[in-house]
């Protein structure tokens, strides 16, 4: 039995495809939107569309940004010889929130996962190696402490060995299986300060 007319059902259907949105939340959001002033709804949909249309990868670190270089790579005050490797842009944001890290980043957009068929060629590793042809003092591997994150860290460490570049891994103050984005800033800072050479 259909409870809602087609357009409302379609909207609930689309919303419930978003991560973390179950059918109840999708209904709540759908009715919230339907009760909102039209100009607010237009602003919301325009914002989403324009971000999707204009956001791209930073040509240095591959984080998502709306200009050629992200604000971090474009900042001459950052230490461009220290590169922290993270799995995605949300991890970068988590470290930026600590306001203590002064280096730059490299965003892999994923982690190696043989189980899910994600190999080294499926994440931005080639791009990392290209960056290392310039002067780099340290690569800090800050992938998650999940099985995939650890596998990726080990793979990168092996890849970097012949380059002689100092390669470190953030300390395991980060709980096993923990996503970096959910960890508080103090824990992240401790993990960064307690990093060890690989």
Q: Which residues bind Zn ion (CB under 5 A)?
A: 58, 60-61, 70, 73
H helices present in the chain, as ranges: 6-15, 23-35, 38-54, 89-98, 125-131, 147-160, 185-193
Nearer to Zn ion, 30 or 58 (CB): 58
**Shortest Cβ distance from residue 99 to Zn ion (Å)?**
17
Nearer to Zn ion, 58 or 123 (CB): 58
**Shortest Cβ distance from residue 126 to Zn ion (Å)?**
17
**Shortest Cβ distance from residue 100 to Zn ion (Å)?**
19
Nearer to Zn ion, 15 or 124 (CB): 124
**Shortest Cβ distance from residue 76 to Zn ion (Å)?**
13
Of the candidates 76, 82, 146, 79, the one whose C-alpha atom is nearest the C-alpha of residue 118 is 146
Nearer to Zn ion, 15 or 104 (CB): 104
Look-up of token digits 């790579």: 73
CA–CA distance, 143 with 107 (Å, rounded to integer): 10
Contact between 196 and 142 (Cβ < 8 Å): no
């Amino acid at each position: 039995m259909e409870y809602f007319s087609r357009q409302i059902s379609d909207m609930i259907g689309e919303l419930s495809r978003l991560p973390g949105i179950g059918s109840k939340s999708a209904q709540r959001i759908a009715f919230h939107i339907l009760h909102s002033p039209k100009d607010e709804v237009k602003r919301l949909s325009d914002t989403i569309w324009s971000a999707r249309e204009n956001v791209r990868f930073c040509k240095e670190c591959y984080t998502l940004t709306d200009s050629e270089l992200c604000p971090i790579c474009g900042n001459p005050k950052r230490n461009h010889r220290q590169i922290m490797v993270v799995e995605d842009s949300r991890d970068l944001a988590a470290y930026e929130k600590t306001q203590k890290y002064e280096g730059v980043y490299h965003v892999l957009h994923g982690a190696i996962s043989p189980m899910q068929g994600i190999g080294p060629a499926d994440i931005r590793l080639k791009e990392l190696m290209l960056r290392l042809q310039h002067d780099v003092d340290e690569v800090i591997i800050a992938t998650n402490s999940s099985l995939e994150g650890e596998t990726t860290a080990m793979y990168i460490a092996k890849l970097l060995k012949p380059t002689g570049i100092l390669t470190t891994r953030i300390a395991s103050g980060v709980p096993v299986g923990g996503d970096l984005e959910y960890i508080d800033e103090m824990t992240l800072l401790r993990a960064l300060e307690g990093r060890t050479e690989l």
